[in-house]
Amino acid sequence: MSISPSLLGSSRNDLASQNRKRISDLELQARLVEELIPKFKDEHYREFYREVVQSYRAVARDMLRRTWLDDKGQDIAEYAVMLAVILVIVVGTIRLIGSNANNVFSEVASAVQ
């Protein structure tokens, strides 16, 4: 069972799209928490939520980096190269068998007559 290139490409695009959405959500949450920090009276809470904002942004950067570096599956260029090699082999085989098959059929046809 093989998976078509279009299915692999779409699932990779879907994954990248989901990761972009998660990154955007993390950045939004970081901004919202950042806006709330000055409203805390206790310095301990302000420092804690500054660290929360930094961790949100670190997770977002990490997700972006992993999405960018994800090389699972084949790209369309790799499928094109594989297709070209297969076509060369098939065409060469058909030409080789085709000329031999023509000779065999010609001999059989002349023997029958």
User: Which comes out higher in pLDDT, residue 2 or 94?
Assistant: 94
DSSP 53-90: HHHHHHHHHHHHHHHHH---S--HHHHHHHHHHHHHHH
pTM recorded for the entire structure: 0.46
Average pLDDT, integer, range 56-64: 83
Rg from Cα positions in the chain: 30
**Encoding tokens for residue 83?**
């297709």
Confidence of residue 7 (pLDDT cuts 50, 70, 90): very low
- Residue 64 above 50 pLDDT? yes
Return the sign of the alpha-carbon dihedral for residues 24, 26, 29, 35. Answer: negative
Cα dihedral 68/71/72/78 (nearest 10) = 130
